[in-house]
Amino acid sequence: MDIHELFTKVLHNEAFWKELKEDPVKAFQNARIKTTPQQIDSVKQLNYESLEKVATAFASGNVT
């Protein structure tokens, strides 16, 4: 899985997004996605609040 595929999955699967925030290992296992330890570590370090703010801003058309 590359970053584009991950973003696509997150954008189109709210349950996956929620699980990814809570338990990335479980989220990837449940989605049958193979990951490396480095990928898991990087996902654990994401600032989910900031990502949600960006997504909301783009979805609402507030970004010019």
- Give me the number of domains the chain comprises: 1
In the chain, DSSP assigns E strands to: none
User: How confident is residue 54, by pLDDT bands cut at 50, 70 and 90?
Assistant: confident
* Measured distance CA(38)–CA(60) in Å, rounded: 33
Q: Which domain holds residue 29?
A: 3-60
Residue 48: pLDDT above 80?
Answer: yes
- 55 or 31, greater pLDDT: 31
* Measured distance CA(20)–CA(16) in Å, rounded: 6
Report whether 19 contacts 27 (CB < 8 A).
Answer: yes
pLDDT in tens, 2-22: 888 998 898 889 999 999 999
